[in-house]
Amino acid sequence: MKKRIFTGAGVALVTPMNADGSVNWDRLAELIEFQVNGGTDCIVICGTTGESATLTDDEHLKCIYFAVEKVGGRIPVVAGASSNDTAYAMMLARESKQAGADGILCVTPYYNKASQRGLIKHYNMIADATDLPMILYNVPSRTGCNILPETYYELSKHPNIVATKEANGSINSVARTRALCGDALDVYSGDDDQIVPILSLGGIGVISVLSNILPKETHDICQLYFDGKVKESSDLQISMIGMVDALFCDVNPIPVKAALNMMGWDVGNCRMPLCETTPENLARIEKQLKLHGLVK
Let me know: does 135 contact 104? Beta carbons within 8 Å: yes
How far, in Å, CA of 62 to CA of 65, rounded?
A: 5
Tell me the C-alpha distance between 269 and 254, whole Å. Answer: 8
CA distances from 255 to 13, 88, 246, 247, 258 (A): 13, 30, 7, 5, 5
Contacts of 171 (CB under 8 A, 6+ apart): 194, 197, 198, 201
Examine the residue annotation and report whether 137 is marked as an active-site residue of this protein.
yes
- Alpha carbons 51 and 112: distance in angstroms, whole number: 20
The enclosing H or E element of 119 equals helix 116-128
- Catalytic residue (choose from 165, 188, 225, 257): 165
Instruction: Using alpha carbons, list the distances in angstroms from residue 92 to 63, 98, 104, 143, 230.
Output: 12, 10, 9, 19, 39
DSSP 288: H
Query: Considering 97, 123, 137, 257, which one is annotated as catalytic?
Result: 137
Catalytic residues: 137, 165
